[in-house]
Amino acid sequence: MSTDIATSLPALGFPAAPDTVFDNRFVRELPADPDTSMRRRQVLGACYSAVQPTPVSAPVLLSHSPEVAAMIGLTKQQVNTPEFAKVFGGNALYRGMQPYAACYGGHQFGHWAGQLGDGRAITLGEVVNAQGERWELQLKGAGPTPYSRTADGRAVLRSSVREFLCSEAMFHLGVPTTRALSLVGTGDDVVRDMLYDGNAQPEPGAIVCRVAPSFIRFGNFEILAARDERALLEQLVDFTISRDYAHLAGDSNARRSAWFTEVCERSARMVVEWMRVGFVHGVMNTDNMSILGLTIDYGPYGWLEDFDPNWTPNTTDAAGRRYRYGQQPAIVQWNLVRLAEALRPVFQSPEPLEAGLDAFLRTYDSAYEQMMSAKFGFTAHGEPEQQLIREAFALMHDAQADFTLFFRALGEVPPVINHDAVITDVLGDVFYHENVLTQHNDRFMHWLRRWHALTSASGESFTDRRARMHAANPLYVLRNWIAQEAIDLATNGDTSRIDLLLQLLRDPYREQAGMERFAAKRPEWARHKVGCSMLSCSS
């Protein structure tokens, strides 16, 4: 027996800039699920289901991004109203919002999983701001949808804090990403089994408002191809090009070809940026791949501490390590192949798809080489530089060098290195290996002197090289232990650390006074602490 959708939420006048309007093209131009009930089901012949967020007991604003608020036309005064918390906690709607949950499928851990869909994400609508920019507003944790299967559609505070902070941190690092507008506490507990070990516990709930030009994923196309809904697949492709790739010109076939190539190139540049800052996504299923080449769905992510290309933060992936740091480029390529297979019915021949996949490899190889040269301070990209890069990563792995701190320290290496210096004299305390001086000093110093000679040969001044390297190598990243401290405080009612980190991570490349502990190695207590070492998908 079906359950009808709850009565529409109260509508509020939209308190934004006069030129900001909702223009909800996704729901206006694509077919809706004709079933308006909330029963869990397979949704056929439609791109979305109309839904309403489920109201919560006591929505309260815990934090927000002023830049994102301004981007969608909201002032500080408007954010600091009870109405804002109601809307972005799921208890009310601004005039013009048309909430929906999208239908999509996906390959999860390499296997086709069938229909997935927005099981706890609800898009409120598409804002067009005064500059003509289009931004989708999406609540994560806003209640059940027809795609929730057996889940409750909610999110806990710990995962919501992580997504809120990481979205903004990644943006300021220069990584293509979705953004985050707000973090709202719900006043309700959510029961979760954090480690999937049979110990489910109630946790405080929260809702994040995510913001992006589009939340369309590879899986939106895959589900239609899997069901042989060719006409709808073609409609979604052309809609995506028209709305999100409007700069592409030519006839339909030319635009589709150029579109797929650009999707591949954007995806390549995205993963190069992940590799640059040491970010590990943790769950690179095809339903977590943005058609815009944005980092999307911040679940069990993490940053490299001691350099290990085989590290993944995801407990679910602990055995196979499919989504480990060093394999992320190959996984993006694999996901693009799955997308190409899904799109094949709407292309006249496979050649444009093959050309797009080739473009991924060319873009990745070129961008990765340039990125690594920048990280190491090289001005050339020849074999001597590449050899030193390969040796450096082997040394970093053996000596357990902290990924972020190693590169910042390398940028600080002075114009002259003392003859009798040891590696910790030059680079400082950037190693986790207890016996680095006895076991790795000679190899590291030999490498360092060769690196120093090569970078010095360019004639570039120390000041210029240092500035270039620091521009490529952040000092502050959202390490898991740093995020966990903010979560622990927020769980006890203190959200001040969230705001402090939000401010700190707006400027991750510049040293900030009094913030030394956030630019430190992982403390020993965090090596095995839940939430600091590995994380589950439970949220």
Tell me which H or E stretch contains 303. Answer: strand 302-303
Residue type, 241: I
Going along 60-133, which residue ranges are E strands?
A: 60-64, 93-94, 100-102, 105-108, 111-115, 121-128
Quick check: 1 pLDDT over 60? no
152 assigned to active site: no
Strand partners, 115: 105
Using N-to-C axis directions, what is the helix angle for 328-343 and 351-376, rounded to 10°? 160
- The answer to whether the CB of 290 falls within 8 A of the CB of 178 is yes
- Between CA 8 and CA 11, with CA 9 as vertex, the angle to 5 degrees is 110
DSSP 436-473: HHHHTHHHHHHHHHHHHHHHHTT---HHHHHHHHHHHS
DSSP 203: E
pLDDT digit string, tens, across residues 334-345 = 999 999 999 999
pLDDT digit string, tens, across residues 186-202 = 999 999 877 666 778 89
Distance CA 120, CA 380 (A): 48
Q: Compute the average pLDDT of residues 118-130.
A: 95
pLDDT at position 27 is 98
Dihedral pair phi/psi, residue 514, rounded to 5°: 80, 5
Q: Rg of the chain's alpha carbons, rounded to an integer?
A: 24
Q: Compute the average pLDDT of residues 366-394.
A: 96
Quick check: 384 pLDDT over 90? yes
Per annotation, catalytic residue among 33, 118, 287, 297 = 287
pLDDT digit string, tens, across residues 49-99 = 999 999 999 999 999 999 999 999 998 988 999 999 999 999 999 989 999
Distance CA 269, CA 366 (A): 10
pLDDT at position 200 is 81
The residue ranking higher by pLDDT, 13 or 225, is 225
The pLDDT mean for the chain works out to 94
Quick check: 19 pLDDT over 60? no
Closest alpha carbon to 34 in 10, 50, 15: 50
Quick check: 351 pLDDT over 80? yes
3-state helix, strand, coil in the chain (%, to 5): 45, 15, 40
pLDDT digit string, tens, across residues 423-452 = 999 999 999 999 999 999 999 999 999 999
pLDDT at position 2 is 33
Map residue 64 onto helix, strand or coil: strand
pLDDT at position 527 is 87
pLDDT digit string, tens, across residues 207-241 = 999 999 999 999 999 999 999 999 999 999 999 99
pLDDT at position 9 is 73
pLDDT at position 172 is 98
When pLDDT is cut at 50, 70 and 90, the band that residue 12 belongs to is low
The residue ranking higher by pLDDT, 539 or 392, is 392
pLDDT at position 151 is 85
Distance CA 84, CA 92 (A): 9
- The answer to whether the CB of 309 falls within 8 A of the CB of 325 is yes
When pLDDT is cut at 50, 70 and 90, the band that residue 528 belongs to is confident
Distance CA 417, CA 414 (A): 7
Of the listed ranges 4-8, 143-147, 171-175, 415-419, the least confidently predicted one is 4-8
Burial class (CB in 10 A: 0-12, 13-18, 19+), 189: middle
Quick check: 15 pLDDT over 60? no
Q: Compute the average pLDDT of residues 317-332.
A: 96
% residues pLDDT > 70 (the chain) = 95
Q: Compute the average pLDDT of residues 241-247.
A: 98
